[in-house]
Chains A and B, each alone.
Chain A
Amino acid sequence: MQESKKYWKGIEELENTPEFAKAAHNEFAEFLPVKETYGSDAAEAEVAPRRDFLKLLGFGLAAATLASCEAPVRKAIPYLNKPEEIEPGIANWYASTYFEGGDYNSVLVKTREGRPIKLEGNPLSGVTKGGLSAKAQASVLSLYDTNRLTAPMMNGKATDWKKVDSEIMSRLTGATGKVVVLSHTIISPTTKKAIAEFGGKFGSFEHVVYDANSASGLLKANDGTVPGYDFSKAKVILSVAADFLGTWISPVEYAKQYIQTRKITKENSDMSRHYQFETNLSLTGSNADVRVAIKPSEEALVVAAIYNKVVGGLNAPAYSNKQLDKAIADLMAARGNALVVAGANDQAVQTMVRAINQALGAEGTTINTNAPSYVRQGDDEQMVRFVREMNGGGIGAVIFYGTNPVYDHPLSADVEAGMKKVGLTISLADRVNETAKLANFICPDHNYLESWNDYMPKKGYMSLAQPTISPLFRTRQAQESLLKWAGNNTSYYDYLKANWAGITGGNAGWDKVVHDGVVENVTLNQEVKTYAPMTTAAVGVALNKSQKAGIELKIYEKVGIGQGGIEANNPWLQELPDPVTKATWDNYVTIPRSMSVDKGIAQNDLVKITAANGKSITLPALIQPGQAKDTVGIAIGYGRKLAGKVADNVGENVYPLATVADNGISYNTTVTIEKAGGEREIAQTQTHHTIMGRIVVQESNLNQYKKDPASVTERITIATPDGPKKPSAVSLWQDYEYKDHHWGMVIDLNSCIGCGSCVVGCNVENNVAVVGKQEVLNRREMHWMRIDRYYSSDATREDGFTAMEEPSDNPTVIFQPMLCQHCNHAPCETVCPVLATTHSTEGLNQMTYNRCVGTRYCANNCPYKVRRFNWFSYPDNEKFTDVNYAQTSDLGRMVLNPDVTVRARGVMEKCSMCVQRIQLGKLEAKKDKRRPVDGEIVTACAQSCPTNAIIFGDMKDPNSQIRKVMEREQGERAFTVLEEINTQPNITYLTKIRNLA
């Protein structure tokens, strides 16, 4: 029975370690000193010396005296010439595009008084359809990164553009050897044109493209493009190590499609079935109906086994697996609506996948052959050849455009050595990164929010980026630099507009595209590299070569940090807990539980991983349920040395461990693992707030749902003299009467994929402080919204865990966004001695910071553990200067939402249900003399969600979506968390339904 399924948040809870048991009872780690004494003598720290007390007392008196003096003179400085479209206090929105590390998102930029402060998805985009990834959400802060360069640099010294230009132009003309522009994937047709124009000036020129997390193998097997996958048409999805919801190719686009087949109602209970074969427990694997843990070397065998069943005729080692057989049968049955994807960067595997999809009739349905994707164009082979050429001395000049190969390429040492042999090296990076440091010139590019650009992520889909702020520093758009050095002095804006003339026609057409940000069914010159296809025989040879023995390493990408580019120095992303491990501020070695037992490696123990290529890395171990046996996983994107104050020396760089062959890079390798001695604590948020075995999440399976929708959710009744009753039937409380609005939220656990986009969206909207690794370890993170990740296995509560041999071998995972439940009978409200938390006439649980005296009674009484206490003055405590630069530095503060208070020390805070947005929406309606329209007022989290798992609205409005969903799901999937304590939350969850095989 699924009702009695046991959930646990981590190995600690599963084993109920003494530390865990102790922490579970202490919501606020009181034993932790507030003073900065970590690592020093603890006994000394506990004494609060009398002198300190007197000092504080004296200071307090002085402060009180000072406070009573005259208020300081404040200035009001208006514009000299007010731009017509800017009204102080009113937000302006501009359409633009985010494309970083291969992650494409069409965005709307919210600006206040000329400062971009928030990004939201552009609903007009046919690619991302209003969704936005966590990385894109956070990217607005990168604009105000304190580590950005403020002027161009020549030989390590700041200088001006005139000098740089004349020097570079003279040295370029005198360059002996090939001139190379090295970039990641560029999907901008006009940028490519500019690069081509630049290259045309030289006798020998090459544009080398590589991707940090490469998909060369996929491109080679698919005529140089990424197939136009359409998960929304798929009834059976089989993914072999492709984390398509989290990090693979275009996760937001795929998540939008994927979720269309996962939303169910009684009337329409068709649901896709999703099989995942993978090594590390990824975000996609967590959402799969059936997940099978395999070693990286088995990926090719799994694909080959499918190939042999579906297509046949391949000489491959035999591989069989009960779940695989079932999956293949499902795939064949769903012919025409089946889709197989594979994450391996291996032409042989991808060639087989293409053939399988063709045989399954995917092309035309689940693969749109008319709209292939261009978001990956990196060619590993070309890059490896280029690195060799550099070391051979054949390169005259290199321009590093948006790339940092000294950090993010496995051959970083060769790149570093090769750069010294190149006559002229120019980096267009926005900061002195690992590569730029070694370059002769750094000509900083604008941030994308300061730039004009165009993008073509898919055939027929185009979008524009427009500047939303004047350049903050003396930077210059990279394309303009290239054009200038090619002797073309046109601004990039004119260049771009001229290139688009064929599409937009006149100014009116151009204005419309700039306004919408996107335009569809048009293309601009997009040349795609083509590769020789691989024969079946060659595939067979490659397959038989790929046998490996021993422990295998799978290098993976994290949802938040990505490939470690500009995202790395973004504190919001560093503090965003990994969806699965819930770890922040570090990378680590994920090891299966069996390895932990066999080798005696405990959580947080430092282990040394030595790869087959001799390179080694030392990181703490994290015991990961679901990790395939005899494998380990390490995330890229960490170990930056020159990214900025936030990212420097966080974690270790795993890129050098990847296997480089002539024809490509493999992110798997065999390794040896040994204990390195010592430990480094991993800052996980997962066990900070525990559920103590209560029913918090609910799930069921599709068959049960189809049989009886009312049976999928467990209901709790309480005993009364008149027999068992619903908890809400018995109440000590008077109910509130809501006349005007009654705000509420429905969260569909079936739709939530756990990506964390809402968490970042909430941080940006509500000025949530970043606290850094040590404070996360102290269990003092400030996120108003968290995504709880529960593991579960078929062990039932009655059985205890003993019935299971190893529950953590391959657990199922369930995500649950948890935020203030805005209870109608809120336990926090009754215990506040100063009425700082009260109930509004619209159903909101209000938190008034200026009334709060910090007793923390409310948090102790909150059953959902969603209240956060300001232990420090995060905006001005120098301890947080680096990690919390969005609040501590003048530059960073430009990102703050001016409508939301930055909280002071000693007050409690929590989700306000974005009351500022509610108030604004109501005001707009009042100004127009009408009622608010459903969908007009949306919280930041609901807005951010790429899978529309969160529905926010007015439950009093009979036409609202939330009302309709609640009426439909009442008695079926709808449940409130901890119903038995009769808090009557305004947040309703919908039971997760799995399509179990």
Chain B
Amino acid sequence: MISCTLRMKYKPLFSFLIALFLTFTAYAQGGEQANVGKEGVTAGAVEAQAGGADAALASAGDALFKNNCASCHALDEEVVGPALRGITQKRPEAWLISWIRNSSKMVQSGDKEAVAIFNQYNKQQMPSFAFSDDEIKSILAYIKTAPAGGSTEGGPGAEGGAGVAQATSGDAGEVGKYLDLLLVILVVVLIVMVVTLLIIATVLKNYLNKNRQLAPEDEELVNPKADYMSVLKTPVVKGLAITIFILALLNLSWNKAMSIGIQQNYQPKQPIAFSHKLHAGDHKIDCNYCHTSVYKSKNANIPSANICMNCHSQIKKESPEIKKIYAALENNRPIQWVRIHNLPDLAYFNHSQHTKVGGVECQTCHGPIETMDVVYQYSPLTMGWCINCHRETPLNTQGNAYYDNLVKLHEGQDSKAPFTVVSNGGAECSKCHY
């Protein structure tokens, strides 16, 4: 009986405790992520300093390396050309400088080492680079100081990116585990404390009630007359609670219902771990290079495997992800990507209308695609979202003779409203539904 009432009475308290625990955990996890991020940064910085070289020089070299060398060289891996870590120890700086400037000249001049390398790599010539001495030195400085397995890893390829991600999350895991453990212990201790306190309080109260005639003041303290629970039982409070509950439920179901068929943030696993971050972000490959029809057609086509082969017939041939492309080509089985952006069949959308005519950036709808290792759906792709943009976006009429007369007419109206897509009929049904 007692235990029953106890439980009844302290139920809110328990709930509170559980909630507290949960919040705390969540907070801890958030903090832990932030920590890891910071740690990653400092670790790199420390290493750079440890290298002893001029950090500024190395960072200039970093950029040069990425832009010029990385398509053929990696630090720790043979790509098209040899792996470069430790190259500064292996060869004298002067030799390296003249090699980078014009390798074929060195080969022709009969430099033994040069000829050996040339033959080793299937007589494939390294292009000449018109760098200044300082620039080459900065590249070498970078090679000397670059962190192992860092984000500056040479060859483009999904595997590299994924590797980095794994490494960092691995570190996070170690620290996280300790924190988790600590938290669990803390919470358990807290619960034990609270429970103990409650038991003590109950026992004391029962003892006082049974064995002592209490003074009225004390009586009031031990068994308070004002029953707070009875307030909760008044119709007003009850009604209020029910109303709030129903409203919350309605709100929830409304939101749920409105999100049916909306796949915002949809981020499926793709058959090949292709990273847009690496290709579009780090290497700054133009979207149009792979999505060839984005300025021409309604579809921004998923690139065919032969486009991958433009580079990957040379680069990163050993990566297991790239090997999947080779396998697809060899077996004549097309790669089945998972479609992320799905418009209903009843809506007609044309990429070229937006990219070529409207001058809309890819990122406007697809989000920061250049930072996505795995692509997700950035925009809700709902009709409201489309229409909203059509309402707000001024028409790209600059230098397009199609619009000349329309712009004149609009300006003639002497209204201050901008000439938006909608003001040119961009919200009419048959512009997208037919």
Contacts and interface: CB of A to CB of B under 8 A. Distances in A.
Interface of A: 67-68, 71, 73-82, 87-90, 739-740, 836, 838, 840-842, 844, 846-851, 899-902, 912, 915-916, 919, 922-923, 925-927, 929-931
B305 interface: yes
A740 B334 CA distance: 44
A851 B383 CA distance: 12
B429 A846 contact: yes
Contacts of B306: 79-82
B345 interface: yes
B379 interface: no
Contacts of A912: 430, 434
- Interface of chain A, main secondary structure: loop
Contacts of B433: 846, 848-850, 901
10 contacts: A75-B336, A77-B337, A79-B305, A80-B332, A81-B304, A89-B298, A89-B350, A90-B296, A902-B345, A927-B356
- Interface of chain B, main secondary structure: loop
B430 A67 contact: no
B260 A929 contact: no
Contacts of A915: 430, 434
B434 to A, nearest CB: 5
A929 B400 contact: yes
Contact of B352 (A77, A927, A929): A927
Contacts, number: 150
A88 B297 contact: yes
Interface of B: 256-257, 260-261, 263, 268, 292-293, 296-299, 301-307, 328-329, 332-339, 342, 344-346, 348, 350, 352-353, 356-357, 399-402, 406, 409, 424-425, 428-431, 433-434
A902 B306 CA distance: 34
Nearest to B336: A75
Contacts of B292: 82, 87
B322 to A, nearest CB: 15
A929 B335 CA distance: 37
B402 A929 contact: yes
Contacts of A923: 350, 352-353, 357
A76 B293 contact: no
A87 B428 contact: no
A740 B424 CA distance: 8
A78 B303 contact: yes
A67 B329 CA distance: 37
Given A80-B335, A88-B297, 12 more contacts: A67-B260, A71-B342, A73-B268, A74-B342, A78-B302, A78-B303, A78-B335, A88-B301, A838-B428, A840-B430, A915-B430, A922-B402
A90 to B, nearest CB: 5
A88 B402 contact: no
B345 A901 contact: yes
B434 A901 contact: yes
Contact of A931 (B293, B332, B339, B401): B401
A850 B346 contact: yes
Contacts of B339: 73-76
A846 B302 contact: no
A78 B334 contact: yes
Contacts of B299: 87-89
Nearest to A83: B304
B434 A916 contact: yes
Contacts of B303: 78
Name the 5 nearest CB pairs between A and B, nearest first: A89-B297, A846-B430, A82-B304, A89-B299, A79-B304
Nearest to B257: A68
Contact of A739 (B297, B342, B409): B409
B377 to A, nearest CB: 11
Nearest to B303: A78
A74 B261 CA distance: 13
A202 B172 CA distance: 85
B348 A89 contact: no
B78 to A, nearest CB: 27
B256 to A, nearest CB: 8
Contacts of B304: 78-82
A82 B290 CA distance: 12
Nearest to A91: B297
A87 B332 contact: no
Nearest to A73: B338
Contact of B338 (A74, A902, A926): A74
Contacts of A922: 402
Contacts of B338: 73-76
B429 to A, nearest CB: 4
A930 B402 CA distance: 5
Contact of A916 (B348, B353, B357): B348
A902 B336 CA distance: 26
Contacts of B301: 78, 82, 87-89
B190 to A, nearest CB: 39
A64 to B, nearest CB: 10
A836 B332 CA distance: 46
Given A68-B257, A75-B338, A76-B338, A848 B429 contact: yes
B306 to A, nearest CB: 5
A930 B399 CA distance: 10
A102 to B, nearest CB: 37
Contacts of A851: 429
A822 to B, nearest CB: 11
Nearest to A844: B430
Contacts of B307: 82
Contact of A79 (B334, B336, B342, B434): B334
Given A90-B296, A916-B434, A68 B302 contact: no
B237 to A, nearest CB: 34
A841 B401 CA distance: 19
A182 B72 CA distance: 66
Nearest to A838: B429
B406 A740 contact: yes
A847 B428 CA distance: 11
B333 to A, nearest CB: 8
Contacts of A846: 428-430, 433
Nearest to A902: B345
A841 B337 contact: no
Contacts of A67: 260
A80 B301 CA distance: 12
B335 A925 contact: no
A840 B328 CA distance: 48
Contacts of A838: 428-429
A90 B335 contact: no
Given A75-B336, A76-B338, A78-B302, A926 B400 contact: yes
Contacts of A68: 256-257, 260
A80 to B, nearest CB: 5
A88 B355 CA distance: 16
Nearest to A929: B400
A930 B401 contact: yes
A849 B348 contact: no
Of A89, A846, A900, most buried by chain B (CB within 10 Å of CB) is A89
A496 B352 CA distance: 40
Contact of B346 (A849, A919, A927): A849
Nearest to B346: A850
A777 to B, nearest CB: 30
A77 B336 contact: yes
A850 B348 CA distance: 12
Contacts of B257: 68
Nearest to B396: A926
B428 A740 contact: no
A844 B333 CA distance: 45
A929 B399 CA distance: 7
A79 B334 CA distance: 6
A71 B332 contact: no
Nearest to B296: A87
Contacts of A847: 429-430
Given A842-B425, A850-B433, A901-B345, A75 B337 contact: yes
Nearest to A956: B405
Contact of A77 (B268, B293, B335): B335
A74 B337 CA distance: 9
